[in-house]
Structure 1
Amino acid sequence: MSDNEEEPFMEVHEIVTQKLGHIPVAKGDFKKLPSKVQKWVIHSVNICQPRAIYICDGSKPEADEVTHKLLERGTLTKLTKYEECYLCRTDPSDVARVESKTWITTPEKYDTVPHVREGVKGILGQWMSPHDMKKEIDERFPGCMKGRTMYVIPFSMGPIGSPLSKIGVQLTDSNYVLLCMRIMTRVSPRVFEFMGDHDFVKCLHSVGCPRPVERKVINHWPCNPDNVIIAHFPEERKVKSYGSGYGGNSLLGKKCFALRIASVIARDEGWMAEHMLIMSVTDPNGKETFIAAAFPSACGKTNLAMIQPTLPGYKVQCVGDDIAWMRFNSKGQLRGINPENGFFGVAPGTNFKTNPNAMRSFQKNSIFTNVAETADGGYFWEGLEDEIDKNMSITTWLNQEWRIGKAGTAAHPNARFTCPASQCPIMHPKWEDPEGVPISALIFGGRRPTGVPLVLESFSWEHGVMIGACVKSESTAAAEHKGKKIMHDPMAMRPFMGYNFGKYLDHWLSLKKDGRQMPKIFHVNWFRVDEHGKFLWPGFGENIRVLDWIIQRCQGKDIAVKSPIGYLPKKGSIKMEGLKDPVNWDELFSLPKHYWLDDTHESTRFLEDQVGCDVPEVIMKLLKEQEESFKKM
């Protein structure tokens, strides 16, 4: 199938002859762009050689125009059951973040990656020298947009004008990316009003399919999977992505900017850019507490951020479900914002039982990628079997006929929904407050089937950093890893580190200063199972019971006992009334000695192997003390 359908053009009204080499500006006024943006666009045009430039404004008419063209082309299918919802099926070879092809480039290697043990393959970031990266870039980007339009997308990560926000400009030849960036970030020419002398993050993206297209285009989804590269240049505040049109590979405001580049900016400016949700919990007395929590992808961040509490009198509100930017203010209080404007959530497993608020969020104005379609114009994925007619005819993400009960799966395991955060029924009124919200607790967690208790509190800020450095979880469908195995994902940032992880831990440790109100640090594990593989904790809305305990600890309540790994809840201090099934407290909070000796040793070895001499001494000291505590048991 060819890929030479017409791009969505408005009437060409300007040609900037001298600067752009007769490239037509299909929409917008190039001369109104800030001069430094003009220079970068001109530089990129000369390399990528698009046939036209389209300066985006993020407006509804713009989105309608692009959507209409993508419907005509077949890239999008309208889901007629809902208001302004669309389905996209990608090329099956372009369905996930491609971590193996994601690189950081700095002049000094160990600015990017730690000193790993000799003979060990490092997993905390990938470095490529500027010389080698230039070669890779030069083999891909020249002429990569021939026959296509270059979309110029001005966007803000965080509320426009907030002192906690940052500005980016993405250049892309994918109009699907434009539609998704409009949901996930704040796309508006207003960002230029706040640019002034400040830097902006330069984001260049191409699907890598100049016309005439040589590779067969599948599902009207141009891509170049054999030549994918996602390159980050933190010192230049720049990202270049080639070959993939999917998710975090192409929506460069997300993981690339908001975590990898922003973590470097945060280090340089003294704040935190983290893979964390932000939520608030208001107790029956009206006391509100804001919490940030870091879990590896597909481990329930969105579910927790939008939890529907089962305990009477409690109210949860969402600030963000994936990324948190946090900074101490002049009063020493940690304030956080969600830099994103939308949700890019994993669809399979999401339903009205697991996450009713997410379901209500994407009933309109949403894009669904690699989900299945029902005969009546609705979406479907694994987890929705109880919510549709069992005899309903379904078309899978691979465009094959399917019914519930038939072999195989209907949706890709990493199928996604993309929807505006403003549509979430429990978004906090202050979710766009330019000053951010006050953070009282930080939570780490992961999928740990054995050994790890439901909840624990760190002894100190330093101990909490150690706990974060030792986060592990079953692997997920968000990346290209296959099968289930326990993987290290320190701070839930393993795929998203923008610089040397040892220096990142140093940065966390350095944040503790006199006069600052340091949040308490916790670890949770909803996923512990018994000997029969059954979950020991019901999870979902019942997790409010654990959050309640965490909040009480933030308020100084004496409801904890010391253990070798941190403070555990005193027996009976978590509210259990009203649970459908009894919970085995002793098993849920047991600390098997040999398990923890092995786990502590393995965590120590991981840090020695992967971070080496860059590990802060205090982290290794705390692990040694933990090991000695278990030996004495």
Structure 2
Amino acid sequence: MDPLHTLGKISSPDQALNLFASKLDRTQLAKIAKIKHPDVLIRIANAIVLCRPSKVFINTGSEEDKDAIRKISIEKGEERALAMDGHTIHFDLAGEQGRIVDRTYYIAEPEDLVSSLANRMPPEQAVKEIESNMSGIMENLTMIVGFYMRGPVGSPVSNPALELTSSAYISHSAELLYRNAFNDFDHEVEQKGYFFTNVHSEGLNRTEDLPHARVFMDRKYQTTYAWKCTYAGNTLLLKKGNHRFAVDKAVYRDRGRELSEHMFITGISGPDGRTTWCAGAAPSGCGKTTTAMAGNVFIGDDLAQMWIAQDGSIRTINPENGIFGIVEGVNAEGDPLLMKVLRQPGYEVIWSNVLVDEKSKPHWIGNMEPAPEKGINFQGEWYQGKTNEKAEPIPISHPNSRYTLASKNLDNYSPEAANPKGVVTRIFTYSGRDEDTMPPVWVAKTPDAGVVIGACIVSATTATEVGVTGIKRAPWANAPFIPGALGDYMDAQFKFFNNPDISKPFKPVMAGLNYFLTHRARGGDSDKLLGEKRDVKVWLAWLERYAHNEVEYLPTPIGNLPAYNDLAKLFKQIIDKDYPRSLYDMQFALYTVKIIQRIELQEKAYAKEENIPKKLFEILATQKTALLDLKKKAGNVIMPDYFENLH
């Protein structure tokens, strides 16, 4: 049962064209006449019948259309112009500053395998919910229809996607984050044989609406629905909503040949001018954008589509060409290239949920700039010392405050981002917000062990999900976006990285990254980081040399660790910083009890899942046995020199 067709009842292109003739003005009719694919026309028509907009605006991606969308958003009050030309502010409802995971559902038949981490609803019930909430929801509003590619036009893993929304803010955001492919849409749909559909009606930012806000995802018909919500993570359905469909495609249609990951893509410079490409997973709010920007050139900060090319290499593209980034902690010291775009004139930026002062200038936590005395932020009027109903201080900006910008504005954005053939990717990293257990970098000894690193990400939760707190497992940093069974997804990972078509020169280097270790975790009394944000440049540089067999390493039960001399040299070379042996010892000592506890946490959790590949349990058991043996021989804390002596 397809809810959109069931409720719209348009089943032929002729019916669709007749509807357009009655609903669209002459200008918009001339635009839609250029779209010929029958399935695309029928999908748009059914959305119009369901939502009953007063007007329909066809966005061709022309400068004229983009300018019109910006103006509509300002006129409606979805955005407000700021002091710097091209900058606007959008405020979400105070209670909706992240993904509403508890109100997000997959539409699924009882027999459909759905992730144990997700909510589900049968089609019959979903149709009733969609009808009662979306029928006529766009009366007196304009539906904006956008035609996008999630990735470069012509790439084998790019996804065509329709965005149908009454929110000009969402359309404005889509124009910064995705490639408007109006002129290529028919051809791409014909070539791919599918497209995604996204139907969204803007929320009114009313507290009473929030309990009734919903996001529905129909995997069978690759369609998302959202209403009564405003945060872009719930409404910009091209992003994480369509990412879920891309994950499904990789797992169930192209298993072993394709992956769709929650990963940055960055290029790391090596000797003699070479660039080695790295893709890395990290949960939102755990430094993914910072790590992407730590490379010498970058392609993306959030999502990656990858496949095995005919030459035996793993190729990667970014389905986006913009950044919807968390702004907390972004400052001139750690993020100079981002700050140039955020603080200097000449760029287009949509801000959300930061503080705007009396001079219409945005401010946020961690910008290392003088804070204003008062302004407007995510909860209304704000002043220094303001508290909430619990007498807790209200921060200057929400922890999940965002900026939206086009990646081309960043000085280190690579032209390779537009290459439909993707970039050859050698390094894959997995990280979370881990304050007390794993070292800053370690490399899996085999692809299977690399898959297990990804499966075992553990992280402190962040502000990206409403109502979620504490420490949690975050498999591949992709678990919230895996629609099907976790065992199927894991099997796809094992099959992909062990695919015999991957040529020997392109064998992946798979590693764990962690730059959230604290002094307290290593015997100190401070929660300050054991190191600095910029150190990630060195961890990436070491991995780049490792991929080309140019550095030493220490074999350990959890994987291969860097040797001190290589790191000391790279710290000086890459960031002109001394790296004392004492700091190396603190960062790379193995705290066996904590690591064993972490392994047991994973064993216990995965034992509750169905059809988890046996490889996972075998690798974890081997690591645990080796660590227990090591603990008997050398104690709870194993310093790096123990492995140096063995080596």
3-state SS of the aligned residue for 1:438? strand
1:291 Cα deviation (Å)? 0.3
Give the 3 Å change call, closer, same or farther, for CA 497–487 of structure 1 in structure 2. same
Which letter maps to 2:165? T
Q: 1:31 aligns with which of 13, 30, 33?
A: 33
- Equivalent in the alignment of 2:555: 562
- Equivalent in the alignment of 1:324: 304
Q: Give distance in 2, aligned partners of 1:482 and 1:42.
A: 38
Give the 3 Å change call, closer, same or farther, for CA 536–184 of structure 1 in structure 2. closer
Give the 3 Å change call, closer, same or farther, for CA 326–47 of structure 1 in structure 2. same
Contact (CA 8 Å) 2:357, 2:372: kept in 1 or not? no
1:28 Cα deviation (Å)? 4.6
Which letter maps to 1:599? R
What is the CA deviation profile of residues 3-40 of structure 1, one whole-angstrom value per residue up to 9, with x for unaligned ones? xxxxxxxxxxxx98832583234735333322222111
Give the 3 Å change call, closer, same or farther, for CA 405–357 of structure 1 in structure 2. farther
3-state SS of the aligned residue for 2:128? helix
Note if 1:335 corresponds to 2:336: no
- Equivalent in the alignment of 1:509: 494
Please say which of residues 184-193 and 438-447 is displaced more in the overlay: 184-193
Please say which of residues 439-448 and 234-243 is displaced more in the overlay: 234-243
1:446 Cα deviation (Å)? 0.7
3-state SS of the aligned residue for 2:50? helix
Give the 3 Å change call, closer, same or farther, for CA 536–196 of structure 1 in structure 2. closer
1:349 Cα deviation (Å)? 1.2
Indicate the structure whose relative CO is greater, using CA pairs within 8 Å and at least 6 residues apart: 1
Q: 1:59 aligns with which of 37, 40, 62?
A: 62
Q: Give distance in 2, aligned partners of 1:16 and 1:566.
A: 58
3-state SS of the aligned residue for 1:195? helix
1:417 Cα deviation (Å)? 0.3
- Equivalent in the alignment of 2:408: 422
3-state SS of the aligned residue for 1:322? coil
Note if 1:588 corresponds to 2:587: yes
1:112 Cα deviation (Å)? 1.9
Note if 1:272 corresponds to 2:259: yes
Query: Number of residues paired by the alignment?
Result: 586
| TM-score, normalised relative to structure 1 | 0.88
Q: Give distance in 1, aligned partners of 2:187 and 2:282.
A: 33
Contact (CA 8 Å) 2:178, 2:321: kept in 1 or not? yes
Note if 1:543 corresponds to 2:544: no
Q: Give distance in 2, aligned partners of 1:51 and 1:179.
A: 20
Contact (CA 8 Å) 1:154, 1:191: kept in 2 or not? no
- Equivalent in the alignment of 1:260: 244
- Equivalent in the alignment of 2:3: none
Contact (CA 8 Å) 1:16, 1:22: kept in 2 or not? no
What is the CA deviation profile of residues 511-568 of structure 1, one whole-angstrom value per residue up to 9, with x for unaligned ones? 1222313311000110111222344532322212111211121112351112111111
Q: Give distance in 1, aligned partners of 2:90 and 2:481.
A: 26
- Equivalent in the alignment of 1:301: 288
1:403 Cα deviation (Å)? 4.2
Contact (CA 8 Å) 1:76, 1:86: kept in 2 or not? yes
Which letter maps to 2:425? I
- Equivalent in the alignment of 1:378: 361
Note if 1:400 corresponds to 2:385: no
What is the CA deviation profile of residues 265-291 of structure 1, one whole-angstrom value per residue up to 9, with x for unaligned ones? 122123111000000011242121000
Note if 1:572 corresponds to 2:573: no
Note if 1:142 corresponds to 2:135: yes
What is the CA deviation profile of residues 461-483 of structure 1, one whole-angstrom value per residue up to 9, with x for unaligned ones? 11111111110100001111354
1:500 Cα deviation (Å)? 1.3
Note if 1:622 corresponds to 2:641: no
Give matches, 1:30-429, under 5 Å.
30-34=32-36, 35-80=38-83, 82-107=84-109, 109=111, 111-113=113-115, 122-123=116-117, 125-197=118-190, 198-207=193-202, 217-218=204-205, 224-257=209-242, 259-267=243-251, 268-269=253-254, 270-307=257-294, 316-362=296-342, 363=344, 364-384=347-367, 386-388=368-370, 390=371, 393-403=374-384, 407-429=393-415
Which letter maps to 1:343? I
What is the CA deviation profile of residues 560-591 of structure 1, one whole-angstrom value per residue up to 9, with x for unaligned ones? 11211111122333134443674522221122
Q: Give distance in 2, aligned partners of 1:358 and 1:162.
A: 28
Contact (CA 8 Å) 2:308, 2:501: kept in 1 or not? no
1:392 Cα deviation (Å)? 5.6
Which letter maps to 2:400? N
Contact (CA 8 Å) 1:55, 1:153: kept in 2 or not? yes
3-state SS of the aligned residue for 1:574? helix
Q: Give distance in 1, aligned partners of 2:562 and 2:377.
A: 46
- Equivalent in the alignment of 1:214: none
Give the 3 Å change call, closer, same or farther, for CA 17–154 of structure 1 in structure 2. closer
Note if 1:18 corresponds to 2:5: no
| TM-score, normalised relative to structure 2 | 0.86
Contact (CA 8 Å) 1:105, 1:112: kept in 2 or not? no
3-state SS of the aligned residue for 2:273? coil
Q: Give distance in 2, aligned partners of 1:76 and 1:33.
A: 30
Give the 3 Å change call, closer, same or farther, for CA 456–581 of structure 1 in structure 2. closer
1:354 Cα deviation (Å)? 2.3
Give the 3 Å change call, closer, same or farther, for CA 503–421 of structure 1 in structure 2. same
Q: Give distance in 2, aligned partners of 1:359 and 1:321.
A: 16
Give the 3 Å change call, closer, same or farther, for CA 111–191 of structure 1 in structure 2. farther
More helix by share: 2
1:231 Cα deviation (Å)? 1.5
Note if 1:435 corresponds to 2:421: yes
3-state SS of the aligned residue for 1:377? coil
1:60 Cα deviation (Å)? 2.5
Contact (CA 8 Å) 1:361, 1:421: kept in 2 or not? no
3-state SS of the aligned residue for 1:579? coil
- Equivalent in the alignment of 2:460: 474
1:498 Cα deviation (Å)? 2.3
Contact (CA 8 Å) 1:17, 1:23: kept in 2 or not? no
3-state SS of the aligned residue for 2:131? helix
Identity %: 24
Please say which of residues 573-582 and 280-289 is displaced more in the overlay: 573-582
Q: 2:508 aligns with which of 519, 522, 529?
A: 519
Structure 2's unaligned 5+ residue stretches are: 1-14, 388-392, 631-647
Give the 3 Å change call, closer, same or farther, for CA 203–17 of structure 1 in structure 2. closer
Q: Give distance in 2, aligned partners of 1:131 and 1:482.
A: 30
- Equivalent in the alignment of 1:119: none
Give the 3 Å change call, closer, same or farther, for CA 518–236 of structure 1 in structure 2. farther
What is the CA deviation profile of residues 130-181 of structure 1, one whole-angstrom value per residue up to 9, with x for unaligned ones? 2332232233222222221111111111112333311111111111111111
